[in-house]
Chain A
C-alpha cells in the first residue's frame, strides 16, 4: 500500500521533470547497452574463433618430431624421426581404440605454375584418410584413393587459395600444374576453411608415394595427423598415441622425441583467453554503468535540494521518514529500470549488426545481470540522496526558499 503510494509520488516527480529524467535515464541506458553489446561482441569473437579452430579438423591431434635437448645439451643423442610406420602403428584399433585414424604428412615448399601463372605454396604428401582426419572435404572434383597412393599417381587436390591464384577464371579440374617441375593433375578443389593462425587453404594435397618419389625423397615425415573418435576422447586418444610411440621409440616422459599438439586443448586455451577478453569488455561496460549510477546520485541530490521545501511541506502534513525515503529510492530505481529497458532495446538492435566480421551473440546472463544491477544501482545510488531527504527537519526545510 505504502509502496504503491510512494511509487506514485515518485512517478509524479519524474514526470514533473521530464527532460532531466530522460537525461538521467540516458546515462543508465548507455551503461546497460554497453555491457550487453560489449559482452555480445566478446561472445561473438569467441564463437568465430572456436568455429575456425574446429574447421581445422575436429578431434584433431598433431604429432610432430622434437629433439629433446634442454639448454643446448642433447639429452638423447639417438633421436628417431617420425616415420610412415609410426603412422601405420597408430591405426591399430586394438592398441588405440579411441583413435579413428592417423595419416602421415610430408610437407615441402613448392612453386607451382600453369601457363604464365605461378604460386608458391606447400605440398602435403599424405594418405587418402587425410581428408576425413583433418576435416577437409572437397568442394568440387574428387579425392585421391588408396589405389592412387599405391600406384604413385601424380594427382592433387588443391586448396581454395591455390585455385584462386592459378585458376582465376577457369575450372582447375583436369588441368595439369607443374610443381617444382613435376607435373600434377588437379582432381579436386578443397572447400574453403577460412582464416586461422595460418592459411589452411594455401596448400596442395597429393598421394604420399608420388610426393616422396618426385619431390622430397623417402624418410622421415613432417608430422602425423591423428583423429580421435569424438571430441570427448581426444585425451584418451592422446594417451594411446603416446603409449604406442613410446614403445616404438623406446622413450619415456622426459626423453620423448615427439610432441603431441591437442586441438581440444588449443580450443580450451583460446576459450580461456577469449573469456578474459569478454570479461574485460564487460568491465568497460560496467564502468559506464557506474558512471550512469553516479549520474543518478547527482541528479537525485539536485532534486532533493530543489525540493527541500516540498519535502518540508510533506513532512509537516505527516509524511514519515520511511515514506520520504521510499519515494526517493523508488524514484531513482524507476529511472534506473527505465534506462535499463531502453539500453536493452538499443543493445538488441545493435547486436543484429555485424561489425569487423564478428556477429555479436547476446548472452542471456548479461541481459539479466544488467537488469538486476541497474535496479541495485537505483537502490544504491539513490539511497544517499533519499536518506538526506528523509532526515531533513521540517522547520528548516519549510524555511528553505
Chain B
C-alpha cells in the first residue's frame, strides 16, 4: 500500500546565520490511505509551515516528501500547481472562496483548471453541493452565505476534486459552535466514505474526532498516538 503522505526528515529553514529559524526540524510522518490525522500544536510550533509543505504550497529545505509515491522535492511552480489540483483538496480557516462568484462556480473552479468540460463540472459541482446540504444555494455568492455555509461550500469544492488527501487548516477556527459541529460531522462522513483527511488544529475537541493525533513542539514531533490516549 502506497502511503498518501510520506515525509522523511523534513526540515524548513527561514533566514540565514544569526537570524536562522528552523520552523520544521527533522519531521518524518506517514499517512496511509483512509486515515484521519489531526496535527496539533501551539502557535509557533511549526504546524502552519508543515501544513504548507504537506499541501505542496511550499517546498522543504531538506528531506524528501512523496504524495501518493510521487516525489515533489524538485518540481517547479506549475508542476506543484498540478499536484495540488490533482491530489489535494484544501479547506482553509478563512474559507477562501472567490468573491462575486456563485457557490457552484467556486466548486467548479478546480475542475476547470483540470480541463473538465463545462457541463460535466457543473454536474459534479451540484452533486458535491448536494453532499454538503447546499444544493439550493448553488447560485448564491459567498457574501450571501453564513460562515458555516461558506465553509461547507469550501468542503464541497475540495470534495468535487476527488483528491487523494483532504487537507483542512483550522477549518472551524472562524465558526460558531453549531457550525463547527456541522462541519466536523461532514468531515466524519467523508472519512467514513474512505477519504484520507489531515486536519490542523489547536482545539482538543476537533482533534478528538481524528483517529490519530500528532503533536508538534518547536518544529519537532512530540507525540504521535491514536486519538483518545492523550
Interface residues of A (CB under 8 A from B): 1-2, 5, 12, 16, 309-310, 312-323, 394-395, 398
Contact = CB atoms under 8 A, between A and B. Distances in A.
B112 A5 contact: yes
B99 A318 contact: no
B81 A319 contact: yes
A109 to B, nearest CB: 80
A12 B100 contact: yes
B84 A316 contact: yes
Interface of B: 52, 55, 57-58, 77-78, 81-82, 84-86, 90, 92, 96-101, 109-110, 112-115, 157, 161
Residue of A16, A314, A317, A395 with most chain B CB atoms under a 10 A cut-off: A317
Contact of B52 (A1, A315, A395): A395
A314 B98 contact: yes
14 contacts: A12-B100, A12-B101, A16-B100, A310-B98, A314-B113, A316-B57, A316-B84, A317-B109, A318-B82, A318-B84, A318-B113, A319-B81, A395-B57, A398-B96
B57 A320 contact: no
A318 B98 contact: no
Contacts of A316: 55, 57, 84, 90, 96
Contacts of B109: 314, 317
A84 to B, nearest CB: 89
Given A1-B115, A5-B112, A395-B57, A321 B98 contact: no
B92 A317 contact: no
Given A12-B100, A323-B113, A398-B96, A318 B85 contact: yes
A1 B112 CA distance: 10
Residue of B55, B81, B99 with most chain A CB atoms under a 10 A cut-off: B81
Contacts of A398: 57, 92, 96
B98 A313 contact: yes
Nearest to B105: A12
A5 B110 CA distance: 12
A315 B98 contact: no
A293 B101 CA distance: 28
B113 A317 contact: yes
A320 B96 CA distance: 18
A112 B97 CA distance: 91
Nearest to A1: B115
Contacts of A12: 100-101
B170 to A, nearest CB: 13
Nearest to A312: B96
Contact of B58 (A16, A323, A395): A395
Given A320-B78, A322-B78, 17 more contacts: A12-B101, A309-B96, A310-B98, A313-B98, A315-B81, A316-B57, A316-B96, A317-B84, A317-B90, A317-B110, A318-B114, A319-B113, A320-B81, A320-B82, A321-B77, A395-B58, A398-B92
What 7 A-B pairs have minimum CB-CB distances, sorted nearest first?
A: A318-B85, A317-B110, A318-B113, A16-B100, A313-B96, A320-B78, A395-B57
Nearest to A15: B100
B128 to A, nearest CB: 13
A317 B101 CA distance: 15
A394 B86 CA distance: 16
Contacts of A318: 81-82, 84-86, 110, 113-114
A126 B114 CA distance: 89
A12 B109 CA distance: 13
A12 B58 CA distance: 29
A91 to B, nearest CB: 83
Contacts of A2: 115
A395 B157 CA distance: 19
Contacts of B100: 12, 16
A321 B157 CA distance: 21
A1 B115 CA distance: 8
Residue of A1, A2, A320 with most chain B CB atoms under a 10 A cut-off: A320
A309 B98 CA distance: 9
Contact of B113 (A16, A320, A394): A320
Contacts of B85: 317-319
A312 B114 CA distance: 17
A322 B81 CA distance: 11
Nearest to A318: B85
Contacts of B113: 314, 317-320, 323
Contact of A321 (B81, B84, B90, B99): B81
Contacts of B81: 315, 318-321
A235 B85 CA distance: 76
A69 B57 CA distance: 89
A1 B121 CA distance: 14
A315 B110 CA distance: 9
Contacts of A395: 52, 57-58
Contacts of B96: 309, 312-313, 316, 398
